[in-house]
Structure 1
Amino acid sequence: MDTPDGAALPGVGDLAPDFTAPNVHGAPVSLARLRGGPVLVVFVPFAFTPVCTAEAAALHRAWPGWRERDVQLLMISCDAVPTLRRWAEEQQVGFEVLSDFWPHGQVARAYGAFSELDGAADRVSVLIDADGVVRWRRSTGRGLARPVSDYQGAIEELLRGGSEGSLS
C-alpha cells in the first residue's frame, strides 16, 4: 500500500522499521530496545495544535492502563526537541514523545507517515508486537482525531493473542 505521496508503508505482518529518535530531554529512544512487549507508535503533525493536543490528552488518560499491561507508547512529531519538551510538559504526558526533526522526517518516512507537502507527519498509528512485527495500522486525515477506543481494541486483540489487525 502507498501513501498519497507514494511512500511505501510497512503493512500488517511486516517487520517494523527500527529507529532511534530523541525524546523531549534529548535522550535516544530505540524501537529495538523496546522489543519484548507491544509498542504503539502514534505520529502527529504538529505540537500546540488543537487536534494533536486533544489526542495527547486522550492518550495520557488511557496510558496508565496500557502501561500496567507493559504496552509502550511513543508519540512522534517532526517538531524540534525544545518545542516538543514544552508541549509535553504543558500536556503533562507520562509516555515518550519523540522528535523526528533531524534527519527531518526520517522515522515518519520509514513508516509511510511523512507529508512532503508540509514537511510534517501524517496521522498514522502503528501497533507493533513483542517481536517487532506490525499487527495493526490506522491513518486519518490531518484534522481528524483518532479515537482512543481504536487503540484500545487493537491492544486488547494483540494481548489476547489475536493475529493480524487490519490496514486502513
Structure 2
Amino acid sequence: MSPQVGEPAPDFTLDDTHGTPVSLSGLRGTPVVLVFVPFAFSGTCTGELCELRDNLEAFQAAGVHLAVISCDPKFALRAWAEKEGYAFDLLSDFWPHGEAARAYGVFDEASGHALRGSFLVDAEGVLRWSVVNPRGQARPLSAYREALASL
C-alpha cells in the first residue's frame, strides 16, 4: 500500500551510482521528487528519464531534488546514466531487493521490479503528491509540472 498524501514519507538509504549512500532524511530541508522505474535501459523508462533530463531546469527552478530509484544494481544504473547523460541521482534499490519500492507500495512481487510510481516529498518529509501508472504507461511531464507548481 502506498503512503497517503499528508503522511510522512517512508525514509530509506540507497546507494547512488558510485556507491555513496543517499537517504531521504538526509535531504530534509529540500523538496524531493522520487521517481521509481522498472528497468534501466528499457524503452519506456529511458524515454521518461530523457524527458526529465531535458526539463531538469523546471525541478531546479522549484528547488526540488530529483531522485530516480530502480531495483537494478548500481553498476547498471551508472552505465545508463553515463550513456544518457542523466545529471540527477539514480539510486539502487537492489539489496535488500525492492525494500524502498515496497515502502512506497510500488514493488511488483511477481516480477521483482518497481512499478512506475512518482512521489513529491516536501522539505519537512511529508508526502504532497503521488502518481502510480500501470505497466507500459509513461508518466507525463505535465503531471510533474503540476506537482511542482503546488509547492
After TM superposition, the score normalised by the length of structure 1 is 0.88
Aligned-partner Cα distance in 1 for 2:26–2:122 = 13
Q: How does 1:10-49 map to 2 (within 5 A)?
A: 10-49=3-42
Aligned-partner Cα distance in 2 for 1:36–1:27 = 20
RMSD of the TM alignment (CA)?
Answer: 0.8
Match of 1:51 among 40, 44, 48: 44
**Cα offset for 1:68?**
3.1
**Cα offset for 1:52?**
0.2
**Cα offset for 1:70?**
1.5
Q: State yes or no: 1:89 paired with 2:73.
A: no
Contact 2:62-2:148 at 8 Å conserved across structures: no
Number of aligned positions between the proteins: 151
**Cα offset for 1:63?**
1.2
Q: Which runs of 4+ in 1 moved over 6 A?
A: none
SS at match of 2:137: coil
Which structure 2 segments of 5+ residues have no match? none
Aligned-partner Cα distance in 2 for 1:46–1:73 = 18
Aligned-partner Cα distance in 2 for 1:61–1:26 = 25
Deviation readout 1:37-76 (Å, 9 max, x if unpaired): 2100000000110000001101101212311332000100
After TM superposition, the score normalised by the length of structure 2 is 0.97
Which residue is 1:163 aligned to?
A: none
